[in-house]
Chains A and B, each alone.
Chain A
């Protein structure tokens, strides 16, 4: 049987969802039997590959880079999963939204800097006016809320998706 091409992406988030993914522990071995992880924070490939079956996206869309990545992911993936609260609701990254980018940058890089207060301008993507959930910028096939989602929910979802089924939404899909 052909293995499922699985990718995971880390946008504006804390990597907690990825940690929770690793927390499925020994089930990782079973997962490795049915899926190839073709892209992810721990996979040494720079460019998002083509013909991905399932992509788990962690993190909110906060910068121009996130936005571009999201669009590429959508183009090259059959199923896109918003993975965890940041991707689903924009969560903690959205806490800056009510203040505006300028005020947030000033606070972070000038008021709170002890050495060389200055705005980063080079080599970093610009922040979008607001951090947004993934489904506000691309079509999303499944939302798995949770901060992070529990390993059980993740395992269930990934197994179902790899088996070509949509997981059932139960009360274990919970924000927070």
Chain B
């Protein structure tokens, strides 16, 4: 039995186990913290920056997914400052690639779309970048459409940490960063891919989609990842 810690979230006292992350604890206590790169069952990465929270006494904003709870900590999960930051980050994400919800297989089942609505993003102040990006349909079961990828790396991590195949990685830097299978080969030609489909389940958008399924049928079941991990005795 690990140590219990007591902390305040938005003014309410909650208890948690030492070593738990703020995000888990807050969500377990019914708080809404947006996140895209976080997925139950995998270690936090702190990449999407949507789950930033204020911690009393610390000037910087901290990502809830990688900040461990501490005794006596006081967390603020929503404030005008946070709302503004999250909104701008969401707008940055939407402007980055070609997210066209109306023609997307994940329309209605997309975390990006839902979060945008929840964060009150009803338009994007930045001009869209309209990059020219490929669609890789070489895999027999799945398609990866880079136009819809948000580089959350959930597929990369689930493939490495849960499946152990290490098929996915992110190559290049900065704005040119891209998801790649093996040594940047067509996914269908990957020798490491086990066709397990965990990346599909983990993907928050329509970037990884299942072939032969219509829009409504492409719902992801990300909770499966956590169930699988828990069945194996928890995260590594």
Contacts and interface: CB of A to CB of B under 8 A. Distances in A.
Contact of A133 (B108, B117, B118, B123): B123
Given A171-B117, A176-B107, A95 B101 contact: no
Nearest to A90: B128
Nearest to A130: B130
Contact of A143 (B108, B117, B122): B122
A91 B123 CA distance: 12
A175 to B, nearest CB: 4
Contact of B101 (A85, A171, A172): A85
Tier of interface size on chain B? 20 to 34
Tier of interface size on chain A? 20 to 34
Interface in A113-160: 130, 132-133, 135-136, 140, 143-145, 147
B179 interface: no
Given A144-B122, A176-B108, A89 B113 contact: no
**Consensus secondary structure, chain A interface:** loop
Nearest to B110: A176
Nearest to B95: A89
A171 B123 contact: no
A91 B130 contact: no
A92 B123 contact: no
A99 B132 contact: yes
Given A95-B98, A171-B117, A171-B118, A176 B123 contact: no
Q: Which 5 A-B pairs have the closest CB atoms?
A: A176-B101, A147-B102, A143-B123, A97-B130, A98-B132
